[in-house]
Amino acid sequence: MPHPEGETFEFREFTLRVVRHQQAIADRLGINLTDFKCLGILHRRGALTPKELIEEMGVSPAAMTAIIDRLEQSGFAKRKREGPDRRSFTVHAREESDKEIAKLYQSLQAAAIKLNTAYSEQELRLIFGYLQKAGNVLNDATSKLLRRPLDKS
């Protein structure tokens, strides 16, 4: 919906900028973007089983095994066996990886804090509410894409 002055918020452009930032961090860490996404999920959700990660990531079991292997080899995550079944395990992000990534987000965090000072508390509540709803819209759109094949017509 257009803004009263004719401006619109371009979700597509914004998400491209987000992905570019994520790619820059992944590059600094020496891992690919998919592995960085998985590591971010582990940081936010805590230890998960491969099946839970598959559901979160929307990848095949074989792809998830490769992601976990690469994260473990790069030192960002580790497997932890659960119970007597050697096949049963959870994947944990290493605490050091969260600290390393937090350092890479410092400049963005500082810029966001500076940006926020230009707005009143009431304006920020409105903006943050909008961003929360925009995140929900993005999640819904992503879920729809993951559930059905791409229409190539």
Query: Among residues 23, 39, 27, which one has the least CA distance to residue 73?
Result: 39
Q: What integer pLDDT is reported at residue 153 of this predicted model?
A: 45
Q: What is the pLDDT of residues 14-56, one digit of tens each?
A: 999 999 999 999 999 999 999 999 999 999 999 999 999 999 8
Q: What integer pLDDT is reported at residue 38 of this predicted model?
A: 97
Q: What integer pLDDT is reported at residue 143 of this predicted model?
A: 83
- From the candidate CATH numbers 3.40.50.2300, 1.10.10.10, 1.20.1250.20, 1.10.3210.10, the one assigned to the domain spanning 11-118: 1.10.10.10
Neighbour count for residue 115 (Cβ, 10 Å): 10
Output b/e per residue, 64-84; b: 16+ Cβ within 10 A: beebbebbeeeebbeeeeeee
Q: What integer pLDDT is reported at residue 5 of this predicted model?
A: 63
